[in-house]
Amino acid sequence: MKALRGRASFLGDRSIGHMDAGARSTALLVRAVTETIEGQA
């Protein structure tokens, strides 16, 4: 995915194929919360 906003946007096409650290950390956080909630049910 091509970065259109944020600090990586100046890379243009060179940003394609590189993971966005903020998106990845948010995904890990959401997964951990989901697993915790499901484990309590």
The mean pLDDT of 25-39, rounded to a whole number, is: 96
The rounded distance, in Å, linking the Cα atoms of 19 and 31 is 17
Cβ(20)–Cβ(8) below 8 Å: yes
The rounded distance, in Å, linking the Cα atoms of 33 and 28 is 9
19 torsion bin: left (phi>0), alpha (psi -120 to 50), beta (else): beta
Percentage of residues of the chain with pLDDT beyond 70? 98
* Amino acid 36: pLDDT: 96
Identify which has the larger pLDDT, 15 or 35.
Answer: 35
* Amino acid 41: pLDDT: 66
